[in-house]
Amino acid sequence: MKIFLCCIFPVLFGFAGFMLSGKYSDRKNFFESLSAFHKLFKTEMAFTAKTVSEIAEKLDKNTDFYRFFNGYFADKNFSAPKYLTEEEKEFIKSYFDNIGISDKKTQLEYCNSLDDRIENCVKNAQEENKKYQPLYVKLGVLFGLIVFILLI
């Protein structure tokens, strides 16, 4: 029985740590989707001048970004995902408020001005995910071992 507990507690708490770290991978995926949309939007604006909703049809519909995108354009008061910081939420809302509302040249200038900022958001989210996700899992396993030791 003790051997079973020795195995089960670290695994359970490690899994709990993995689940708690999900916000970092969700945040990374959100910003990667934003970057992909941004590049697609720039390309489509430069060559086809499609509307924002037509461009959005090309997005992966199973992502948090797509759900936020559709919700935001359906209802401007739609809330951003909880794993984003307040600064990031304001940036995203500002981004969506300013795309698709002016002429092609102005839209491309606006998009070009945001390239570095979006790439920095992607890079920061990837770095945080790489740093914190394994940390949460390791702390979960360690906590599981501590609980096992205390129960012996």
Distances 72 to 16, 39, 56, 67 between C-alpha atoms, Å: 31, 20, 12, 8
- The answer to whether position 13 is within a domain reads no
User: Structurally, how many domains does the chain consist of?
Assistant: 1
- The answer to whether position 3 is within a domain reads no
Residue 104 is part of which domain span? 23-134
- The answer to whether position 101 is within a domain reads yes
| pLDDT tens sequence across 1-58 | 777 767 788 888 999 999 988 899 999 999 999 999 899 888 888 788 777 778 878 8
Q: Across residues 74-83, what is the average pLDDT?
A: 77
- The answer to whether position 1 is within a domain reads no
Q: What tokens appear for 13 in the block?
A: 């708490």
3-state secondary structure 54-115: HHHCCCCCCCHHHHHHHHHHHCCCCCCCCCCCHHHHHHHHHHHHHCCCCCHHHHHHHHHHHH
| pLDDT tens sequence across 86-139 | 999 889 888 888 887 777 788 888 888 889 999 999 999 999 999 999 999 999
Cα 5 from Cα 119, distance rounded (Å): 45
In the prediction, which pLDDT does 147 show?
85
Is 38 in a helix, a strand, or coil? helix
In the prediction, which pLDDT does 130 show?
95
- The answer to whether position 94 is within a domain reads yes
Query: Which pTM was predicted?
Result: 0.85
- Check pLDDT > 80 for residue 141: yes
- The answer to whether position 36 is within a domain reads yes
- The answer to whether position 149 is within a domain reads no
- The answer to whether position 15 is within a domain reads no
End-to-end C-alpha distance for the chain, whole angstroms: 11
